[in-house]
Structure 1
Amino acid sequence: MSATQVAVVTGAGSGIGRELALACAREGMAVVVADIEEEALACTQELVEAAGAPCLAQRCDVSSAPDVERLAEASWSRWGGVDWLFNNAGVAVLGTAWDATDDDCQWVLGVNLMGVVHGVRTFVPRMRARGLAAHIVNTSSAAGLATIGGSAVYCASKHAVVAFSECLAKDLEQVGAPIGVSVLCPSLVATLIDQSQRNRPAELPEVGPTAAAYGERVRAGMAASAISAEDVARAAVEAIHARRFYVIPHAHTGASLRERSQRIMGDFHHFHQEILQ
């Protein structure tokens, strides 16, 4: 079986996923790219192959456990193993918390959280059985570390990805597996996340009435970002080499983290001071 190192990237049809695939190609790896959009996926495959890397493209809905199982089977069948796994696919629904429908929650959590869960449950046992050093990068968001109005469902899904990744890292460490974990937490960059509705299942009703206004805010933030999807992908690869867990490409995320932490600790100290008096 080939000794070529292999990377698998979900959500590889555009944005950060496409740049992750290209970054892996530049590392000299073979790349398996997966996405629900076949035309966009074919474009990514062409770009990866043009960069000199062998590439396997497979349509995959990460919210479907059988789809992810087929992705793993194809990867092992082609190359005999996977060294880097990027659970990257994601979608967003914007609007107030009370406008979020059951369908909104099931769709966003199905892709953003269960996509990561399916990737871990499907690939990690195979990686462990292989016994070689490997690495998993789960894409969360700055919205997985802080919170913002108009993003309740999205933030909830991305906070869950951070927690799941933290627990995954502890679990792998406890069993002595040579598998590193990173959680990627970019803020807004120019991607197609604001156009997630293009992949919204046809049977679901339209999004809530407040979504459009919040969408404009997101597009303005992406346009103003000095960090590109390529920068985010480069940061993720650097984190793998450095075995670093948190990957936070945007400097301004630090201010949001400090504000949230200070608010938590402020209420904590206030509560316990009242008890002690």
Structure 2
Amino acid sequence: MNNFKGKAAVITGAASGIGRAIAIKAADEGMNLGLIDMNASELEILSEQLKQKGVDVLYRPVDVTDSIAMEDFAQSCFERFNEIDLLVNNAGILRVGGCWDQRADDWQKMMSINIMGVVNGINAFVPRIIDNGNAAHIVNTGSVGSLVAAPNMAQYTTCKMAVRGLTECLYLELKMQQKPIGVSLLCPGPVSTNIANSLIGGFLGDDASPEKIAEIKAATEAMDPNFISPDAVAEKVFDAIRSESFWIFTHPLKKHLHGLTQAVVNGENPEYSEVKFD
């Protein structure tokens, strides 16, 4: 897909961070938009801003874990735009904690959003896109955690590795059936978004406050040159759609992933040191 003007995109988790940046980029490309987020006030503000760019916007505070609500929104999107050309399953949350430190209901909530939210997006939109027969593209937001494990991030790593598996299967199945639908897995490294607040708050524990979290986040981003903006991620997403690339890496990971691949091939135990973005 090279020409986006007049086409339609659906984005989940659209009110902030990467989702918001992709929505703005899509509007700048002339795309009409279907936007989902649980933050109704921020979603409305964004939608009104995007309408000023001359595009049509349909937005709704939908919980991606609610399959019926997702189906209803999909139906509304097709009635409004006739076809959907880009689907971005981006909604997600982050929590920290060891494998045995999290309760079953904590695991369930994380998986219901980060995995089943993507499943619900696929189930609601992909069959309709296939029935329409138009060329389209699907982007699922994974993470560096889709490829590399991290201690004290068991839930997040588990979910994002599952998103990778789901996305690869989706890509292969659509290709096998010769459908004109491209698929990409977005694997962001450090990005300046609010999702990092959960990570910082987890480490602070009882000392966490919005002011303290913001202070540490700003200091961390200032010291770490690897942090990039959500806008930079959105540019990479659209570059990947144009080139029909499956992998969307926001940071160079070749050296680290080469070592991991060789360990798998050689049957060696995993040694997950700090990920180097070079």
Counterparts in 2 of 1:1-277, with a 5 A limit? 4-195=6-197, 211-213=202-204, 219=217, 222=221, 224=224, 225-251=226-252, 253-267=253-267
Give unpaired runs (5+ residues) of structure 1.
198-209, 270-277
Task: Write the distance in 2 (CA, Å) between the matches of 1:30 and 1:236.
Answer: 17
Task: Write the distance in 1 (CA, Å) between the matches of 2:236 and 2:190.
Answer: 15
Distance 1:129 1:137, change over 3 A: same
3-state DSSP class of the match of 1:97? Answer: coil
User: What amino acid does structure 2 have at the position aligned with 1:86?
Assistant: V
Distance 1:63 1:222, change over 3 A: farther
Distance 1:238 1:192, change over 3 A: same
Name whichever of 161-170 and 93-102 sits farther off: 93-102
RMSD over aligned Cα atoms: 2.2
Distance 1:7 1:160, change over 3 A: same
**1:67-97, Cα deviation, whole Å (9 max, x unpaired):** 2112101101111121000000000111111
Equivalent residues of 1:35, 1:61 under 8 A apart: yes
Distance apart, 1:104 and its partner CA = 1.6
Distance apart, 1:37 and its partner CA = 0.8
Distance 1:196 1:64, change over 3 A: farther
Distance apart, 1:63 and its partner CA = 1.0
Task: Write the distance in 2 (CA, Å) between the matches of 1:29 and 1:233.
Answer: 14
Distance apart, 1:242 and its partner CA = 0.6
User: What amino acid does structure 2 have at the position aligned with 1:249?
Assistant: T
Task: Write the distance in 2 (CA, Å) between the matches of 1:18 and 1:159.
Answer: 23
3-state DSSP class of the match of 2:192? Answer: coil
3-state DSSP class of the match of 2:100? Answer: helix
What's 2:274 paired with?
none
Give unpaired runs (5+ residues) of structure 2.
270-278
Task: Write the distance in 2 (CA, Å) between the matches of 1:256 and 1:58.
Answer: 40
User: What amino acid does structure 1 have at the position aligned with 2:240?
Assistant: A
Distance apart, 1:221 and its partner CA = 5.5
Equivalent residues of 2:83, 2:134 under 8 A apart: no
Distance apart, 1:222 and its partner CA = 4.9
3-state DSSP class of the match of 2:58? Answer: strand
TM-score by length of 2: 0.85
Name whichever of 114-123 and 222-231 sits farther off: 222-231
User: What amino acid does structure 2 have at the position aligned with 1:6?
Assistant: A
3-state DSSP class of the match of 1:89? Answer: coil
**1:150-184, Cα deviation, whole Å (9 max, x unpaired):** 11110110011011000000000111111110010
Task: Write the distance in 1 (CA, Å) between the matches of 2:114 and 2:220.
Answer: 21
Percent identity between the two aligned chains:
36
TM-score by length of 1: 0.85
